[in-house]
Each structure stands twice: as structure tokens, then as C-alpha cells.
């Protein structure tokens, strides 16, 4: 049994996931072994073999290939000429040098864009022109603003159309050699760059699936890859829609938890209010007892006074004080639960923990 067969059998028995632990050369051999297993051709076409370092050692997984990668894509036809250009293409045609491309490749680039935006709109997407007459400098061309964009399910995917450069060894001229002799800071470039007929599409925005760049290669032209590019736009739109729905569901669940926390906070607030009311009654009762004791002492003193205005005024005060003590004493009325006032936001805050009383 080969190593690849042994590894695939071990993964099958472990449910498609294993972690190789240890240290030293015994553990470091696994990345090249997994790479060799990928190249062996023995991994099923519907599976992908992954390997990577994890906290416990080296993790190896055998997972299903996404359905979208196995889908058979219909080729997108590219028009031989622009008889009825799309609005995006027409906007570019009005520029003197659309996308900063040289004349030999402009027509082909516009026909590729025509085919792509037409296919995208057939899928229900929309498209718009960007900075169509703009050519970014070579050192930052992948960070430039898109030349056009396609929006799928609310996700805008920007497209930057670039012209590849051919690099050749630079042969210094006599003038350059003379300048270097006179000025030591001058540097002669090592290479010369000239525009080629190859094109590159750079995509931005959304979550990448297949890739973020497509270009002409010796084996495949961009015409052959348009179906993949169109699928990439749809996949990014689908992912954005799933993310939007997940965010809506997460927000809904968060509001449900917040509403439950608010309801519990109201219950705890009401209970705390009743406790405070009960404790206030006990304090009022003790206060009334102390005042009644004081009144007893005062009454004894007043009874010892001789008849006259002073005693009459003192007895009137005792009558008022007795009525006041009677009003203070909670035992003079039947006990009942207090009416709970509507809580304010700050009243509920102590019972909400990490939640805000103003919303989730």
C-alpha cells in the first residue's frame, strides 16, 4: 500500500480529519507528504486534501469539493465586433484612450467587457462604468479604482482592466553611461518594459471564491475564462446575500435576547422596588416607635405643668404630634403590595448586565 493510499484510508476511518502530533523531523515530514498525495492523482475528484499547522500539530483534512467548482459552465460568446455596444462600453468608447490601453488591444478589451456585462445582466445583475479613462501607474495598478463594476445581489464587484508588460534586459546607452560617470546617484534600469497584447482582469469587492485575477496565458485566453469570471461575480453576490441574511438573523436573535433581558430586568426592578418599599415601612415603623416614646416623656412633663397658657399650648402640640405619629406608623393601615411605577431606562440599567436599556 502506498503512502497516499494509507493516508486516504486513515482519513476515511477518522471521518476526514486527523491531527498529527509530535515534534522534530517526524512532524515536519507531513507537509511534503500531503503535497505529494495531492499530486498523486489518487485523491477523488470530488474531494480536496488540505494540510496546515494547528495548535496540536499538523492538521490534515479531506473535504468535499464545493458544488460550484464542479459545475459545467456554458462558454460566454464574445462578439466579433461591437454592433450594439452596451452603455458601459459606449462610455469607454467616448474616451480617447479607454482604461489606458494601447490601440492594438482596446478593441478586444471592449468586446470582452461587452460579453461579460451582457452575460451578467442576463443573470439579473447590473453594471456601471467607473474611471474608464484612467490608467494607474505600474507600481500601484492593482490598488487603482475599477474601470467598471458589476453588482450582484447588492455586492459590487469592481473590474480593473490591465495591459500586461513584457520585460527585456536593458542595454545601457552611451548617454546613460556618461550620466552615471558624472552623477553617482543615477542608476541605470536593469529592465525595459513594453506593453504586450495580453490582458488581465483584476476583481475587487466581496469574498473571493475561484480567484481575484484572470489573465491571458499560453494555454487559455481571457475569452476561454469569461464563464469563470461571470461565475465568480455570481458567487460573490450569493455569499453577500447569505451574509446579509445571516446578519439579519443574528440581529433578530440578538433582539430576542435583549427583549428577554429587558423583561427579566423589569421583573427584578419590580421586586427590588417592593423590597425597598418594605424596608422603608420597617424604617417608618421604628421611627414612629421612637417618636411615640419621646411623646410619652413629653406628655409626663406636660402633665406636671400648672394649669395655664403654657400647658394648653403644650397639650395642643401633643395632640398634633400624636396625629403625626399615627400617620407615620405603617401598622395603622392594612399591608398591601405597592404600585410599581413605570421604570426609566436608568432604573433598569443595574439589572441588564452587558445590555443597554436603549436597544440591542
pLDDT tens-place string over residues 224-237: 999 999 999 999 99
Cα dihedral: 328, 333, 336, 338 (round 10)? -30
Domain residue ranges in the chain: 3-65, 87-246, 262-351
Show the cell assigned to 234.
Answer: 455570481
pLDDT in tens, 156-174: 999 999 999 888 888 888 8
Q: Beta-carbon neighbour count of residue 99 at 10 Å?
A: 26
Rounded to an integer, what is the distance from CA 283 to the centroid of its chain?
A: 55
149 and 198 Cβ atoms separated by less than 8 Å? no
Nearest one of 138, 260, 219 to 268, comparing CA atoms: 260
- What is the reported pLDDT for 144? 82
Rounded to an integer, what is the distance from CA 70 to the centroid of its chain?
A: 28
Show the cell assigned to 65.
Answer: 469539493
pTM of the complete model: 0.74
What 3-state class would DSSP assign to 7? helix
Show the cell assigned to 268.
Answer: 427584578
What 3-state class would DSSP assign to 279? helix
Which DSSP letter does residue 15 get?
A: T
- What is the reported pLDDT for 72? 92
- What is the reported pLDDT for 139? 57
Nearest one of 105, 99, 92 to 194, comparing CA atoms: 105
Reply yes or no on whether the pLDDT at 2 is more than 90. Answer: no
- What is the reported pLDDT for 140? 63
Q: Is 28 exposed, middle or buried (0-12, 13-18, 19+ CB in 10 A)?
A: exposed
Reply yes or no on whether the pLDDT at 136 is more than 80. Answer: no
pLDDT in tens, 40-66: 888 888 889 989 998 888 999 999 999
Q: Cα separations (Å) of 110 from 107, 119, 133? A: 5, 14, 13
Which helix (H) or strand (E) segment holds residue 64: the answer is strand 57-64
Amino acid at each position: 500500500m502506498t503512502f497516499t493510499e494509507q493516508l486516504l484510508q486513515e482519513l476515511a476511518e477518522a471521518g476526514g480529519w486527523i491531527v498529527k502530533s509530535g515534534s522534530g523531523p517526524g512532524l515536519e515530514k507531513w507537509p511534503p507528504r500531503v503535497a505529494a498525495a495531492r499530486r498523486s492523482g489518487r485523491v477523488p475528484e470530488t474531494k480536496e486534501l488540505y494540510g496546515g499547522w494547528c495548535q496540536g500539530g499538523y492538521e490534515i483534512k479531506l473535504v468535499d469539493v464545493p458544488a460550484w467548482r464542479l459545475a459545467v459552465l456554458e462558454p460566454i460568446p464574445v462578439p466579433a465586433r461591437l454592433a450594439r455596444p452596451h452603455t458601459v462600453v459606449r462610455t469607454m468608447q467616448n474616451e480617447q484612450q479607454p482604461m489606458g490601453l494601447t490601440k492594438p488591444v482596446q478593441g478586444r478589451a471592449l468586446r470582452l467587457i461587452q460579453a461579460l456585462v451582457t452575460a451578467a445582466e442576463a443573470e439579473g445583475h447590473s453594471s456601471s462604468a467607473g474611471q474608464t479613462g484612467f490608467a494607474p501607474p505600474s507600481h500601484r495598478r492593482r490598488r487603482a479604482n475599477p474601470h467598471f463594476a458589476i453588482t450582484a445581489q447588492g455586492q459590487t464587484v469592481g473590474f480593473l482592466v490591465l495591459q500586461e508588460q513584457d520585460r527585456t534586459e536593458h542595454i545601457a546607452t552611451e548617454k546613460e553611461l556618461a550620466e552615471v560617470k558624472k552623477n553617482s546617484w543615477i542608476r541605470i534600469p536593469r529592465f525595459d518594459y513594453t506593453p504586450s497584447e495580453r490582458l488581465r482582469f483584476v476583481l475587487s469587492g466581496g469574498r473571493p471564491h475561484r480567484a481575484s485575477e484572470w489573465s491571458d496565458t499560453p494555454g487559455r485566453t481571457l475569452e476561454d475564462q469569461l464563464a469563470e469570471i461571470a461565475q465568480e461575480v455570481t458567487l460573490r453576490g450569493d455569499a453577500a446575500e447569505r451574509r446579509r441574511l445571516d446578519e439579519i438573523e443574528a440581529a433578530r436573535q440578538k433582539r430576542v435576547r435583549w427583549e428577554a433581558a429587558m423583561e427579566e430586568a423589569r421583573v427584578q426592578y419590580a421586586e427590588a422596588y417592593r423590597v425597598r418599599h418594605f424596608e422603608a415601612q420597617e424604617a417608618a415603623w421604628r421611627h414612629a416607635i421612637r417618636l411615640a416614646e419621646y411623646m410619652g416623656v413629653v406628655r409626663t412633663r406636660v402633665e406636671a405643668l400648672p394649669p395655664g397658657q403654657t400647658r394648653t399650648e403644650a397639650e395642643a402640640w401633643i395632640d398634633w404630634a400624636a396625629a403625626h405619629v399615627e400617620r407615620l406608623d405603617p401598622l395603622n393601615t392594612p399591608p398591601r403590595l405597592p404600585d410599581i411605577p413605570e421604570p426609566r431606562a436608568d432604573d433598569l440599567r443595574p439589572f441588564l448586565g452587558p445590555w443597554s436599556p436603549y436597544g440591542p
